Amino acid sequence: MKKAIKWISIIGVSLVVLVIAALVLIPMFVDLQKYKPRIETEVAEATGRTFRLGGDFNLSLFPWASLSFSDLHLGNPPGFEEKDFVSIESFDVRVKLLPLLFKDIQVKRFILKGTRIVLETTKDGKISWEFGKKSMDDVSASKTKKKVHAKPSEGLSLKALAVGEFSITDGAVVWLDQTKKERKEISDVSLVLQDISLDRPVQLKFSARLDNRFFSLAGSVGPLGKEFGKGTIPLDLLVKALDQLDVSLKGYVTDPAMQPRFDLDVQVSPFSPRKLVAGLGMAFPISTADPKALNQIALKATVKGDTQAVSVSNGVLDLDESQLNFTAKAGDFSKPDITFDFNLNHIDLDKYMPPPSEETPAKKDEKISESKPSQKKIDYAPLRRLVLNGALQIGKLKIKNARIENTRVKIVGKKGVFNIDPLAMALYQGDVSAKASLNVQKDTPVSNFRLTAKGIQSGPLLIDVLNKDIIEGGLKANLNLNMTGDDAGKIKKSLNGDGDFLFNDGAIKGIDLAGMVRNVKATFGLAEAGEKKPRTDFAELNVPFTISGGIVNTTNTSLTSPLIRVTTAGKADLVGENLDFRVEPKFVATIKGQGDSKDRSGLTVPVLVTGTFSSPKFRPDLEGMFKQKIEQALPDLKKKLLEGGTGKGESKPVEKKVKELFKGFGSGS
C-alpha cells in the first residue's frame, strides 16, 4: 500500500513537472509569428472581413498566462466609408493560471490602448456592426440554451480577486450615419481601475470627450463581495460634464445579478441647461418668452426601487427662482400606479411660455387652416391603465399675467376616470373653489366642470389677464359646464351648462348707457364725443346664462343703477365667436340701486350689440325706439285729439301737438 501511494505521488509530481515544463518551454520553442498568417485567415473567414495583426504577437503560459499583440485591424465590408470596423494599437494581459482552478483570479495587468470602433450606416441602410444572419436552427438552439441554462438567481462565486493594473486608454467610438449625414465621435476614452479586490472598494476613473467636449466619472464601487452580483454593493460616484454638470450618486445596489434593488442619494449641483446645451454645440430646444428662463437647475432626492417599483423622497428641485419639494412613487409599470405630492413655493409660468408671435391672429388662423393635417385619433388606452393619486400646492402662481395664491389641487384617477377635487385658490382678494372630472373610458372624452367664486375684484383681474379695463366691481360666480371631445372645436360645439355672474358696486367702462339715451348722436358717432371716458356705474350687474351646443343664451341679464335700469337678452356663439344682444336701458325716477326691484316708468332706448368677440359693434335700435315713442304717444295723442279746439284755454293744431310729442326724437335732448 505504501509503495502504491509512493508511486502515485511520484507520477503525480512528474505530471505536474511535465505540465509546467510544457507551459514554460512550448512558448520558448514555438515561433508564434509564423502562425500569424493562419490566424488572420481563420478570423477573416469567420467574420467575412479583412483581419490583420501588423505588430508583434506573443503568448506565454507560465507562471503568468500572457497574451500581447499590437496593430490589430478588423475591416469593414465593401461599401463603407471607413476602412476599419475595429482597430487596436496594443493589448497586453497577464493572468495566473493555477489559481483559476480554485476560483482565485489574479491579474497582473490588463492594458488596452488605442482602441477605435466605428459604427457606420451606409446610404442604403447597411450597418457595420452586423456580422451576418444566424440560421433559424442557430436561433432556436440559442433560445433553448438560454431557457435551460439561464439562472439569474445564481451569482458568480469567487474565492479571491486581485488585479494589479487595469487601464483602457486612448479609446474612441465613432458614429457615422451617411443617410442623415451625421458624424459623432467619443474620443480620448480612458478607464482606470485601482485596488481591484473583493473586500475593498474599487477606485474608478473614467473620462472621454464627446465631439471634443469633456465629461468624466470618478468614485468607488464596492466592496463587491465573494459572490459577485449578490449582496449589497456600495456606490459613491461623481459625474462631470462640459464644465457645467456635476451629478453625485451615493448609496447601495443590492443583488444586481438576482433581483436588483437600489437605494441612492442623487444630487445635481446647480447648472445652466442653456449653457449645457450650448456646450454640446446645439440650439436650445425650448423657446421661452423670457430668454433668461431655464438658466439654473439643481436637484437632490433619495431614489429607491427595484424592477417592480420606484420611489422618490426628500426631493428638492430648484428651477431658477422657484423651489419644488416633492415625493413620488410609481409601481406596477405595466399598469402604472403613480402617487405624488408636489409643493411649489412660487413660479411665474409666463416666463416659460412660448414667446408671443408677431403674426396677426387672422394670419395665424389662415396658416393653421392651410397647414394643419388631419388630426390623428388619440389613444386613451394608457390613461385607462393608469392609477393616479396626486396632490399639488403652489404658494404664488402667475399665469397669463393673472396672479394666484394658495393653489391646492387633488387629483385621483382609475380605470379611465379622473377627478379633481378640490381645486381651490385665492384670486384677487377673493376665493375660488372648483372640481372637475374627465372620463376616457370611451374613445371620446367626457368632461364636466363646477366652479364657485366670491369676492373677486374683477377690474384688476381683467386688466392683468386681458389687458382690458372694461369692468370693475366685486364678482361672485357659479358655473356648471359639461362637454365632450378632445379638441377646441369639438368642445365648443358640445358645451352645455349654466351659470351666473354677479357684480356688485362697480362700473362698465367704455359705455355710457345713460349718455346713449340722452344723446344718441354723440353715442353712435353722429356728433362729437366728450373728453371724459364713458362709464356706467352700477350697484348690481347680474348675468345669468345657459349654454346649449356652444350657444350662450341670456334672457334676464340686468343692471341696477341710480337713475337707470338695464336689461339684456341675446346670445353669443362660442363656435363662430359672434354676438347678438339687445340692451334696453331705462331712466327711472329714483336714486335707489341694489335691492330695488320695483318697475319704474321711464324712456327705453334699445341698443343692439353685434359683431365678434374681438370687434363688437354697438348701434341704436331705431325701429325699437320709434315703436316705443308711438306706444307712449298714443294715449296722450288720443286725449288731445278728443279735446280738439273746444277745451278751456288756447287750442293747438293737431300737427303741432304731434310734433311736440316727438320733439327731440333722434337728435338728443
Q: Can you tell me the mean pLDDT for 418-436?
A: 95
Q: How many domains does the chain have?
A: 3
- Cβ 329 vs Cβ 338: under 8 Å: yes
Q: What is the pLDDT of residue 7?
A: 47
Q: Can you tell me the mean pLDDT for 568-583?
A: 89
Q: Can you tell me the mean pLDDT for 29-35?
A: 59
User: pLDDT class for 595, splitting at 50, 70, 90?
Assistant: very low
- Pair (612, 648) in one structural domain: no
Q: For the chain, what percent of residues have pLDDT higher than 70?
A: 73
* pLDDT over threshold 80, residue 236: yes
- Pair (570, 667) in one structural domain: no
* pLDDT over threshold 90, residue 387: yes
Q: Can you tell me the mean pLDDT for 79-99?
A: 85
Q: What is the pLDDT of residue 642?
A: 55
More confident site: 470 or 265: 265
Helix (H) and strand (E) counts in the chain:
12, 33
605 Cβ contact partners less than 8 Å away, ≥ 6 residues apart: 516, 517, 520, 584, 585, 620, 621, 625, 628
Cα separation, 301 vs 317, whole angstroms: 9
What the block records as the C-alpha cell of 334 is 405595466
In 3D space, the residue among 224, 223, 214, 164 whose CA is nearest the CA of residue 190 turns out to be 214
Q: Which of 194, 215, 236 is the last residue of a domain?
A: 215
- Pair (106, 195) in one structural domain: yes
In 3D space, the residue among 442, 389, 443 whose CA is nearest the CA of residue 419 turns out to be 389
- Pair (564, 653) in one structural domain: no
Cα separation, 72 vs 116, whole angstroms: 10
CA triple 231-232-236, angle to 5 deg: 150
- Pair (582, 532) in one structural domain: yes
User: pLDDT class for 475, splitting at 50, 70, 90?
Assistant: very high
643 domain residue, yes or no: yes
Pairing of strands 387-399, 337-348: parallel
Q: What is the pLDDT of residue 263?
A: 95
* Interval 168-209: pLDDT, tens: 999 999 988 888 888 888 899 999 988 888 788 889 999 998
15 domain residue, yes or no: no
- Cβ 593 vs Cβ 539: under 8 Å: yes
More confident site: 99 or 561: 561
Q: For the chain, what percent of residues have pLDDT higher than 90?
A: 37
Q: What is the pLDDT of residue 649?
A: 45
Q: Can you tell me the mean pLDDT for 431-448?
A: 94
DSSP for 387-450, written as a single string: EEEEEEEEEEEEETTEEEEEEEEEEEEETTEEEEEEEEEEETTEEEEEEEEEE-SSSS-EEEEE
438 domain residue, yes or no: no
Cα separation, 585 vs 650, whole angstroms: 37
- Pair (94, 119) in one structural domain: yes
- Pair (601, 643) in one structural domain: no
- Pair (84, 165) in one structural domain: yes
Q: What is the pLDDT of residue 138?
A: 47
* pLDDT over threshold 70, residue 13: no
Instruction: Give the count of beta carbons closer than 10 Å to the beta carbon of residue 541.
Output: 25
- Pair (550, 518) in one structural domain: yes
Cα separation, 275 vs 245, whole angstroms: 10
* pLDDT over threshold 90, residue 650: no
CA 508 vs. chain centroid, Å, equals 40
Cα separation, 643 vs 646, whole angstroms: 6
Q: Which of 191, 215, 239 is the last residue of a domain?
A: 215
- Pair (539, 649) in one structural domain: no
Q: Which of 187, 215, 243 is the last residue of a domain?
A: 215
* Interval 488-516: pLDDT, tens: 888 889 999 999 999 999 888 877 766 65
* Interval 203-227: pLDDT, tens: 999 999 887 788 899 999 988 887 7
Q: What is the pLDDT of residue 169?
A: 92
- Pair (599, 491) in one structural domain: yes
More confident site: 264 or 100: 264
276 Cβ contact partners less than 8 Å away, ≥ 6 residues apart: 241, 242, 244, 245
461 domain residue, yes or no: no
DSSP 510: S
In 3D space, the residue among 302, 303, 342, 301 whose CA is nearest the CA of residue 322 turns out to be 342
User: pLDDT class for 16, splitting at 50, 70, 90?
Assistant: very low
More confident site: 278 or 513: 278
More confident site: 488 or 396: 396
CA 560 vs. chain centroid, Å, equals 47
The torsion angle over the Cα atoms of residues 100, 103, 104 and 107, rounded to 10 degrees, is 50
Cα separation, 516 vs 251, whole angstroms: 76
Q: What is the pLDDT of residue 567?
A: 87
Q: Which domain holds residue 184?
A: 40-128+155-215
Tell me which long-range contacts 423-426 makes (C-beta under 8 A, separation of at least 24). Answer: 425/397
DSSP 554: E
Q: What is the pLDDT of residue 231?
A: 85
3-class DSSP assignment, residue 219? strand
Q: What is the pLDDT of residue 62?
A: 61
379 domain residue, yes or no: no
More confident site: 626 or 142: 626
- Which helix or strand (DSSP H or E) is residue 454 part of? strand 446-457
Q: Can you tell me the mean pLDDT for 368-384?
A: 70
Burial of residue 459, with CB atoms counted within 10 A of its CB: 0-12 exposed, 13-18 middle, 19 or more buried: buried
* Interval 312-353: pLDDT, tens: 999 999 999 999 999 999 998 888 999 999 999 999 999 999
User: pLDDT class for 527, splitting at 50, 70, 90?
Assistant: very low
Cα separation, 260 vs 254, whole angstroms: 6
- Pair (611, 650) in one structural domain: no
203 domain residue, yes or no: yes
Cα separation, 124 vs 120, whole angstroms: 11
117 domain residue, yes or no: yes
540 domain residue, yes or no: yes
Q: What is the pLDDT of residue 588?
A: 64
Instruction: Quote helix, strand, coil % in the chain, to nearest 5.
Output: 20, 50, 30
Q: What is the pLDDT of residue 31?
A: 56
